[in-house]
Structure 1
Amino acid sequence: MDVNISFADGSIGAAADGSAIGRLTINRPDKRNALTDAMWRAVPEAIDWLVNRQNARVVIMEGAGGRDFSAGADIGEFATLRKNAETARAYEAGNSAAFAAIRHCPVPVIAAIRGICFGGGFGLAAAADIRIADETARFAIPAARLGLAYPLDAVQDLVRALGDQHARIALFSGQEIPLAQAVACGCVAGSCRPDQLESEVQALAAAIAAAAPLSVQASKAALSALNSGLHDDYDRAATLSASTFDSADYAEGRSAFMEKRKARFEGR
C-alpha cells in the first residue's frame, strides 16, 4: 500500500510503496522546482521519515512535473532571507542541513534528473550517491553570475561529483555543463531518453532494495569514510562491516547461494 506525506505545505513530498523504495519529490513545478527556505529545511524531515519510519532501503530523489529537477534556491527570497552575511549564514544552515541529510542518509540516494539542475538543485544532486539523467538534463552553478558563494560542504560535494577541474570551471564561470561532459567526467552515471528515465531509475532502485541492506549500508559508510578521511567515519565503517558477518542476512546469503535460490534479506 502506498504511503505518502508532504512537508513545507506540500512542496516537498515523500512516498513509500511497500517495496522498500522511497521517493523524495521536490514539488514546485510552476517555479521549476526552485526551493524555498521552508523546503530546504523540510528535506531532512522527509529523509528521516522515509528511512526511519518507512524502512526505505533506497531513496529516489526527483523533481515534480516531468520537466525539471530543480532550478536551485528561490531567488525571490534572497532580498530578505539572504540579503547580507548575517542572514546568509542562517539561510545556508538550512541548505547545509539538506545537503547533509542526503549525503549522510544511511541508505543510497539516487537523483533522477530531468531538465534544469542548477545551483542548489545541483547541490542536492551532487550530495546523492548516484545520478542518472535523461537527455534534457542541464547543469550549472550560477554563483559567479549572482555575486554570491556556495557553502564549503556544497563545494566539496561538487568536487566529488565533477572532479577538481570541472568543478573549478563551473564555479568560476557559471557556464552550463553539457550532459556529455557530465557523463564523461563521472558526475552522471548514465543518460537515457526522457521516456526511459523512470524505468532506468526504478530498475536500479529495485536492484539495490533487493540487496542485503546491512551490506549496502556498510558499503556506503566505507565510501563516506574514504571521502571524509575522518577517523570516526573509518571506525564506524569498520564496525558496520564487521557486524555483517554476525547478521542473519549473511547466513541467508550463504544458504541461498548454496541452494541456488534468490536470497530474502531482512536487514538484520
Structure 2
Amino acid sequence: MASGLEFSTDGELGKLTFVRPEKKNAITHEMWSAIPEYVAAVESDPVLKVLVITGAGGDFSAGADIGEFRTLRSGAEAVAAYDKTVDEAVSALADMRKPSVAMIRGNCIGGGCQLSVACDFRFAAPDARFGITPAKLGIVYHFLSTRQLVSLVGPAHARYLLLSGELIDAVRAREIGLVNDVFPALEDEVAEFAATLCARSQASIRGMNRIIGKIVAGQTETDAEIEEIRAAAVHDDYPEGVAAFLERRPPRFPYR
C-alpha cells in the first residue's frame, strides 16, 4: 500500500482515500504512481462494482505536493517523467469500465480536481471548493485533463478555471456542471447512489461507460462497439431485465 493512500472494501464498493490530512491530502509522486494499481485491482475484482475516491479529514485534496517539484519536477526530462505519471493516473480512472465516484469535501484543487474530473461522477458537500491552478505556477495543463474538463464544463468555463486559477464554491461548481450535485448528507447520498449503480445491469453499465469514454476522447464507432451492443441482446442480463419489468419486480441481474 502506498504511503498517503488507503484502500478498503465494503461489499460491492471499493474506496480509495487520500490520507494526508495534515497536508490537505496533497498528492505525492508515490501516490500518483500507485493510483493505476488500485484502479486495476478494482477492475479485476469480480465482487467490486463501484470505486469511490475521497479524502480523509476535511478535504478531498488540495492538489499535487508542490514541495516535491524542486526535486522531482525540475528540468525538461524530470517534468516529462512526472507528468507521464500523472497522466497514467488520470487515464487509469478515465478508462475504467466500472463506475467511479469522487466524494468531495473541502478543498478540491489542482491535481485533486484533476482526478475528480477523471471520475465518472462527482458529488460534493456544501463546503467544497474547486480550482485548477497551473496559471499560478507557470505550468501548462495536461492535454488529456484539459480535454476532459472542456468536455465536462465547456470551453468558456474551462478557460475561466484554467486561465484565472480562481476558486469556485460548490454551488457554482454544480451550476457549470463540474459536479453532479451537492449534498449536506454527503456520505449517505453517495452510498445510496453507489447502491443504485450496483443494482443495475453491470453489462449495460460497463458497455455504455466504455462508449461514453470513447466519445469524450473524440473517437468514432468501430466494429467493437457494434458487436458489444449486439452481444448485450443475448446476454443473461437482458431477459432478466425484460422479465422484471413485465412482472413489476426489481431485476436480479446475474452478471457481476
Distance 2:180 2:209 in 1: 17
TM-score by length of 1: 0.91
Q: CA RMSD in A?
A: 1.5
- The answer to whether residue 24 in structure 2 is matched with residue 32 in structure 1 is yes
Alignment: residue pair count: 256
SS of the aligned residue for 2:168 comes to coil
- The answer to whether residue 7 in structure 2 is matched with residue 14 in structure 1 is yes
Report how far residue 131 of structure 1 moved. 0.7
Distance 2:160 2:17 in 1: 29
Report how far residue 139 of structure 1 moved. 0.6
Distance 2:53 2:254 in 1: 24
Report how far residue 132 of structure 1 moved. 0.7
TM-score by length of 2: 0.95
Distance 1:235 1:186 in 2: 32
* Equivalent in the alignment of 1:98: 89
Structure 1 residue runs of 5 or longer lacking an equivalent are: 1-6
1:143-189: per-residue Cα shift (whole Å, max 9, x none)? Answer: 11111122111111221222211110111111112322211111111
- The answer to whether residue 239 in structure 2 is matched with residue 251 in structure 1 is yes
Distance 1:54 1:62 in 2: 22
Report the residue type matching 2:227 in the other structure: T
Report the residue type matching 2:211 in the other structure: A
| More moved, 53-62 vs 23-32 | 53-62
Distance 2:223 2:192 in 1: 33
Q: Relative to structure 1, is the Cα distance of residues 79 and 205 closer, same or farther in structure 2, using a 3 angstrom cutoff?
A: same
Report how far residue 54 of structure 1 moved. 5.0
Structure 2 residue runs of 5 or longer lacking an equivalent are: none
SS of the aligned residue for 1:131 comes to strand
Report how far residue 55 of structure 1 moved. 3.4
* Equivalent in the alignment of 1:72: 63
* Equivalent in the alignment of 1:237: 225
Report how far residue 265 of structure 1 moved. 1.3
1:171-217: per-residue Cα shift (whole Å, max 9, x none)? Answer: 11111123222111111111122xx0001111111000110000011
